[in-house]
Amino acid sequence: MIDSNGAFPIYTSDPYDIKSMELIKVSGAFHPFLTIDVLNRLGAPKSLATIALSILNEQSSFGFISSHSVEIAQFLEWKSKASYVGLNLADTIFVSEQLNEFEINDIITRIFHGSSYRLDKQVTFVIAVNRLGETVRSEGLRLYLKNTNHEESTICDVEGLPFGWIGERQLINDQFNGGITLILVDKKGKTICIPSTAEIEVECI
């Protein structure tokens, strides 16, 4: 774990218990690494597939944003027993590729201002980024994070995260009690969770 004072831990390796995935919840053997490899072949980054298999269960609903989203989501639904639903109904949404500002705005509008409009609506976005940590090697964003509940803060540099996710999150969290939680995961498996209650200031680097 690096660059952490307890509020926003950045994990240098997968923080989830892979061993808990060794047996499928219904019957039969569960082979997480083989499953992750299949998801990767379908177009899902391995680090994103690992988190998906770790946090989804039969009580979860999820959406998947990718050029091969249907194939990935159907396989993930089969393996995790979670429900693959429309984005406006999902409590967790996985984003495997970079989107532009217009695409991000369209997704947020469909989720929070569509037919399932609820002031208590809460959604977690799990977003694949290029690099995450103390410093990045090319252009990116420097996130100044403050947890208002615990009055703790940290700084995290991110490469490959469009600013639109931060901007839309700020707007939604001002309007909705639940709001948006972000989980960022990079190619090496580093992750950081930014809860909806956190305050974010951004600097382009």
pLDDT tens string 2-32 = 333 344 555 444 444 333 333 333 334 445 6
pLDDT tens string 117-161 = 666 778 999 999 998 876 666 678 989 888 776 667 888 889 999
Average pLDDT over residues 176-202: 88
Residue 144 to residues 140, 147, 154, 201, Cα–Cα distance (Å): 13, 10, 6, 5
Q: What is the CATH number of the domain that holds 90?
A: 3.40.50
Burial class (CB in 10 A: 0-12, 13-18, 19+), 55: middle
By percentage, how much of the chain surpasses pLDDT 90? 34
Q: Would you state the pLDDT for residue 134?
A: 63
Q: Would you state the pLDDT for residue 82?
A: 93
Mean pLDDT for the chain overall? 80
Residue tagged 């993930």 (tokens): 76
Residue tagged 């569960």 (tokens): 30
| 185 located within any domain | yes
Per-residue pLDDT band at 114 (split at 50, 70, 90): low
Q: Would you state the pLDDT for residue 125?
A: 96
| 136 located within any domain | no
Record the pTM: 0.82
User: Which residues, other chains included, contact 91 with Cβ-Cβ below 8 Å and sequence gap of 6+?
Assistant: 60, 61, 62, 122, 123, 124
Average pLDDT over residues 163-186: 91
Domain holding 58, by residue range, is 11-125+161-193
| 130 located within any domain | no
Residue tagged 């990079």 (tokens): 186
**What CA–CA distance (Å, rounded) separates 83 from 101?**
28
| 150 located within any domain | no
| 21 located within any domain | yes
Check whether 74 has a pLDDT greater than 80. yes
Our count of domains for the chain comes to 1
Q: Would you state the pLDDT for residue 43?
A: 86
| 2 located within any domain | no
| 154 located within any domain | no
**φ, ψ at 39 (rounded to 5°):** -60, -40
